[in-house]
Structure 1
Amino acid sequence: MPPPQPDALADALIRVPRHEFIPPRAWAVPQGVGTPPAAASGYWIDQHRDPDRWWRAVYSDSVIVTQLDGGRTELTPANAAAPSTAPSCAASSPLLVTAGLRHLAVRPGDRVLDVGGGTGWTSGLCAYLAGDDALVTAVEIDPGLAGTAAENLARCGLRPSIVTGDAATELPAPHDHSDDLFDRVHVTCGVTHIPYAWVERTRPGGHIVLPYNPPIGRLLRLTVHEDGSATGRFGEECSYMPLRSGDGTTVSGQETANADTDPRVRSLDSDPESLLAPAPGLQVLLASLVGDEPWVSGSGSVLLTDGVSRATVEDSGRLTQTGPRDLWDEAESVHRAWTRQGRPGLDRIGFTVTPQRQYVWVDDPAVPAVSAVRALDEAADNATTVGASLG
């Protein structure tokens, strides 16, 4: 099969233009460094009332929100700006779209599954790169969005198969029905637990590219192997709406627990600055093993939470932990292990998916990072015990 031309993606962006997938009225959210504070939370665009502003937003790196609350809330300027509403469909940042497609590396003749087709733009780009509409199948859980995507694609002369369904539980066959396997799986919604069906339905040697989002997101490129596993590494930082199930809830793969526990209070043993603004490698480990990274609140305290447990560090160095987990202790443990292993970056950190489990690893795809953290902690505890006894 011939490799793609170096400018294939650039050509696709011209032949499948973004503006065909943006409605006349929408909510634009600028991305990246240098965004004015007044615009960071978003602004209304209306093609009829202010076409120049609409075109500038569409061909910027802005995320364009096209649906709120699964369509239950009307998309208006007031509703889009309200903190009580949640975007449920958007045209993603063009920089992230192109980054994901470069990782996916669709070749002419590849069968592609596009999970979360949304407005249809990525499905159209994949169809152009694959060279044949019949090679691309898009899965969209919202019937209304699926219909809109089909209309948008038709304006570009493209008609890939668009299936309404829950991609987390059941996947359609490739559009051309030649077999049940895809060469590429492209995911445009945030995932914390990767459905193993995506690995099962990808041909060995094929790739899956998705926003891994637990909750600090990064693009993740997996390669599927003959033994039914998939391994890969992390790329650009990203933020995507979470994968939705058939009942409208998000798919996390995480269990919650009772947060009603007595607070545990102690003084910090180390400077909390070591956990703030972590390097990319540490950030991935904290997000995956702890559930978040610490941040500074408006009051100046440092906070860390997984949605149930919570750790608060006051200016005085007083640490309070509540909930079933001691999150700050866990974060310090991860930081110690990361430091002892030479502060690995993204070039040494990856992800493995098997039928039985999925995990982040450092250096060795067969060893979960959590096991390495525990082993290093146990070794340190044993060394402390031996040192104390010798003393």
Structure 2
Amino acid sequence: MAEPADLVVALARSGYLTEPRWRDAFLAVPREEFVPPVAWAVPTDGTPPHPIDRQTGPARWRAAVYTDTAVVTQTDDGEGDPATGTGTGTSSASAPGMVAAFLELLDPYPGDRVLEIGTGTGWTAALLSTVLGSDAVTSIEVDDQVAGQASVNLGRIGLFPTLITGDGALGWKRGAPYDGIHVTCGVREVPLPWVEQTRPGGSIVLPWVPGFNHGHQVKLTALGDGRAVGRFAGGSTYMLMRAQRPAGPDFDGGGWREGATPLDPRRVTHAAPGAHVTISGMVPDVQAHGAAGADGTFQMWVWDGSSQARVAYDPGFERSGVEQRGPRDLWNEVEAAYLAWAGWGRPGRDRFGLTVTAAGHQVWLDAPDNQVAPTP
């Protein structure tokens, strides 16, 4: 049966787990104590998602625990049953590879005090506590049921970090300043309290999930003047922070405006991550989804809170049909952003960064003063 050492070896081989202190923590903290008996497993190796049940299928359950597998532990904010695979996942035990990547990105010093946003099952709080000591870790969780179970899980293995039930977007001012903030949920906009509660020179690591395609790992450094600045480090896929879940478009009843484009929407959807960072910077709040048809067709939808566009590619036509409605011509904006990225030489994600201030956040290329400005 799968064991903690198997997981550590696999993560080390994949490059996720490189530091001895985190390898030791992954060995010391039994993940099995943080995964419920019945849940929904989402492997990262392409294996289809599936239910796991410790009683009826102990080997399969343990395999999910000690491989690079995310485990959905709550759906529909507690109203659903995660074992069925239906509903929207709202809490999970994150995939160990992504957990390792963010912990190594945080890179805390001995003696650092860390605030974790999103306790979840408590596993990452346990890993942080093992390395830094429980007294150095504060973890905040918005869902009282999830927080209660995390407390039980942590206590079962003798770890007692400070656990707070509340809105993580507000941070936890009472314990500030922190040397690091470790975020375990997707963030569309970085809350200013995190910047204000981080010591100058301290780090904030988070999954930036603006909505266009997948998310991005980012490490920000607090500057002590109300700003935090940092670069993107890789990809990530996390459930969004509850306070930042986007609402659907609110239309005023206007009809569709028809048009066409020579740009194949598949090239936009499947572009390298640098393109998606550019689009998110130039077209704020845009979200997107694409789907291929069995006949070679492809459709792409883009939307924000007030506007929507859909683009239909058909291999039998030179141009793709475009329909747009709402006050913004969203496809035109997305197309212009994609072509701007291509015109810059298709820069990779690691050349981009993010600046957070009281006025909001700003994407930049190569240096903070070279801003990726929103389209007019």
Q: Is this a same-fold pair by TM over 0.5?
A: yes
Q: 1:361 to 1:257 in 2, by over 3 A?
A: farther
Amino acid at match of 2:308: S
Once the two structures are overlaid, the 10-residue window that deviates more, 224-233 or 164-173, is: 164-173
Check the 8 A contact 1:304/1:327 in 2, yes or no: no
Amino acid at match of 1:214: P
Which residue of 1 is the match for residue 35 of structure 2? 22
Q: What is the CA deviation profile of residues 184-213 of structure 1, one whole-angstrom value per residue up to 9, with x for unaligned ones?
A: 100111110111000000011111111111
1:325 matches 2:328? yes
Amino acid at match of 2:199: R
TM-score (norm 2): 0.86
Check the 8 A contact 1:286/1:293 in 2, yes or no: no
Which residue of 2 is the match for residue 123 of structure 1? 125
Give the number of aligned pairs. Answer: 347
Q: CA RMSD in A?
A: 2.1
Question: What is the rounded CA distance, in whole Å, between the counterparts of 2:150 and 2:36 in structure 1?
Answer: 11
Amino acid at match of 2:69: S
Q: 1:282 to 1:259 in 2, by over 3 A?
A: farther
Which residue of 2 is the match for residue 69 of structure 1? 76
Q: 1:161 to 1:321 in 2, by over 3 A?
A: same
Which residue of 2 is the match for residue 43 of structure 1? 50
Question: What is the rounded CA distance, in whole Å, between the counterparts of 2:291 and 2:252 in structure 1?
Answer: 22
Amino acid at match of 1:306: W
Which residue of 2 is the match for residue 289 of structure 1? 282
Q: 1:259 to 1:127 in 2, by over 3 A?
A: farther
Amino acid at match of 1:114: E
Q: 1:87 to 1:347 in 2, by over 3 A?
A: closer
Which residue of 1 is the match for residue 26 of structure 2? 13
**The one of 83, 87, 90 aligned to 1:88:** 90
Check the 8 A contact 2:365/2:371 in 1, yes or no: yes
Question: What is the rounded CA distance, in whole Å, between the counterparts of 1:297 and 1:261 in structure 2?
Answer: 28
Which residue of 2 is the match for residue 163 of structure 1? 164
Question: What is the rounded CA distance, in whole Å, between the counterparts of 1:54 and 1:122 in structure 2?
Answer: 20
Check the 8 A contact 2:170/2:194 in 1, yes or no: no
Q: What is the CA deviation profile of residues 204-226 of structure 1, one whole-angstrom value per residue up to 9, with x for unaligned ones?
A: 11111111111221111111113
Check the 8 A contact 1:283/1:293 in 2, yes or no: no
Query: What does residue range 1-391 of structure 1 map to in structure 2 within 5 Å?
Result: 6-32=19-45, 35-36=46-47, 39=48, 42-75=49-82, 77=83, 80-82=84-86, 85-130=87-132, 132-174=133-175, 180-215=176-211, 216-245=214-243, 250-252=244-246, 257-258=250-251, 260-290=253-283, 291-292=286-287, 295-298=290-293, 300-307=297-304, 308-315=307-314, 316=317, 317=319, 318-370=321-373
Shift of 1:110: 0.6
* Partner-residue secondary structure (3-state), 2:59: helix
Once the two structures are overlaid, the 10-residue window that deviates more, 307-316 or 337-346, is: 307-316
Shift of 1:323: 2.7
Check the 8 A contact 1:109/1:135 in 2, yes or no: yes
Q: 1:123 to 1:354 in 2, by over 3 A?
A: same
Check the 8 A contact 1:63/1:90 in 2, yes or no: yes
Q: What is the CA deviation profile of residues 131-183 of structure 1, one whole-angstrom value per residue up to 9, with x for unaligned ones?
A: x2111000011111111111111122110000011111352423xxxxx2000
Check the 8 A contact 2:129/2:137 in 1, yes or no: yes
Q: What is the CA deviation profile of residues 49-78 of structure 1, one whole-angstrom value per residue up to 9, with x for unaligned ones?
A: 211111111111111111121112244x3x
Structure 2 unaligned spans of 5+: 1-17
Amino acid at match of 1:346: R
Which residue of 1 is the match for residue 3 of structure 2? none
Structure 1 unaligned spans of 5+: 175-179, 375-391
* Partner-residue secondary structure (3-state), 2:168: coil
Q: 1:304 to 1:11 in 2, by over 3 A?
A: same
Which residue of 1 is the match for residue 11 of structure 2? none
Amino acid at match of 1:341: W
Question: What is the rounded CA distance, in whole Å, between the counterparts of 2:68 and 2:334 in structure 1?
Answer: 34
TM-score (norm 1): 0.83
Q: What is the CA deviation profile of residues 365-391 of structure 1, one whole-angstrom value per residue up to 9, with x for unaligned ones?
A: 1343125x66xxxxxxxxxxxxxxxxx
Which residue of 1 is the match for residue 8 of structure 2? none
Question: What is the rounded CA distance, in whole Å, between the counterparts of 1:198 and 1:15 in structure 2?
Answer: 30
* Partner-residue secondary structure (3-state), 2:224: coil
Check the 8 A contact 1:282/1:338 in 2, yes or no: yes
